[in-house]
């Protein structure tokens, strides 16, 4: 039987003491890891919900011709659905920054990830199963077009990982 004693070494959920031994400590450590993992997933899921809500608002605001006060094309439903699918496919990794939703005057939707002036990655979606992307990482530049089907292309994920914290 175990006896609980107060610990001054564990002052928050994010700092588990590593001093101890035995099966009770191992069980408690597994439980702690599961709780922290669930908290991180909940935080990331909350961010995903926020981005999806923002995407929906941008789509509604830009669904008519001339939404920018000039000659911008309306955002197509196909582009909206494609970006939504992309965001839902993003892995639940809290280190990948949340993208900014950018309506484009040609009817596309852009996603922009930024960590300063020289750490930027942009992906553009027109609803045609292609992702047109460009990135600036310090002095390095990248750009291209990738097919988007049932998963996020590895080149896109590699670029996003560069921006992860």
What pLDDT, in 10s, does the model give residues 7-61? 555 544 444 455 555 666 666 666 655 654 444 444 445 578 889 999 999 999 9
**pLDDT on residue 148:** 96
**pLDDT on residue 97:** 79
Q: Which residues contact 146 (CB under 8 A, 6 or more apart)?
A: 130, 131, 133, 153, 155, 156
In a domain, 8, yes or no: no
Q: Do 123 and 143 form a contact (C-beta atoms < 8 A)? A: no
Structural domain boundaries, residue 92: 23-163
- Coarse DSSP helix, strand, coil percentages of the chain, rounded to the nearest 5 percent: 40, 20, 40
In a domain, 141, yes or no: yes
Q: Do 134 and 143 form a contact (C-beta atoms < 8 A)? A: yes
**Widest pairwise Cα distance in the chain:** 75
In a domain, 126, yes or no: yes
**pLDDT on residue 33:** 58
Question: What's the structural domain count of the chain?
Answer: 1
pLDDT band at 163 (very low <50, low <70, confident <90, very high): confident
In a domain, 17, yes or no: no
In a domain, 16, yes or no: no
**pLDDT on residue 140:** 95
**pLDDT on residue 108:** 97
**pLDDT on residue 26:** 66
* Average pLDDT of the segment spanning 150-164: 91
- In the predicted model, what is the mean pLDDT of the chain? 82
In a domain, 28, yes or no: yes
In a domain, 5, yes or no: no
**pLDDT on residue 117:** 83
In a domain, 66, yes or no: yes
């Amino acid at each position: 039987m175990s006896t609980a004693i107060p610990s001054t070494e564990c002052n928050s959920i994010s700092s588990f003491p590593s001093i101890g031994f035995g099966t009770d400590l191992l069980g408690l450590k597994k439980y702690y890891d599961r709780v922290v993992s669930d908290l991180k997933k909940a935080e990331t899921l909350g961010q995903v919900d926020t981005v999806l809500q923002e995407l929906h608002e941008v789509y509604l605001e830009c669904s008519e011709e001339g939404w920018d006060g000039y000659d911008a094309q309306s955002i197509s439903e196909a582009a909206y659905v494609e970006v939504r699918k992309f965001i839902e496919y993003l892995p639940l990794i809290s280190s990948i920054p949340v993208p900014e939703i950018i309506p484009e005057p040609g009817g596309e939707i852009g996603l922009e990830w930024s960590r300063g002036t020289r750490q930027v990655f942009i992906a553009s979606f027109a609803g045609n199963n292609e992702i047109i992307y460009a990135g600036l990482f310090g002095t390095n530049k990248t750009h291209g077009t990738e097919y988007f089907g049932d998963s996020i292309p590895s080149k896109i994920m590699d670029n996003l990982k560069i921006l992860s914290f």
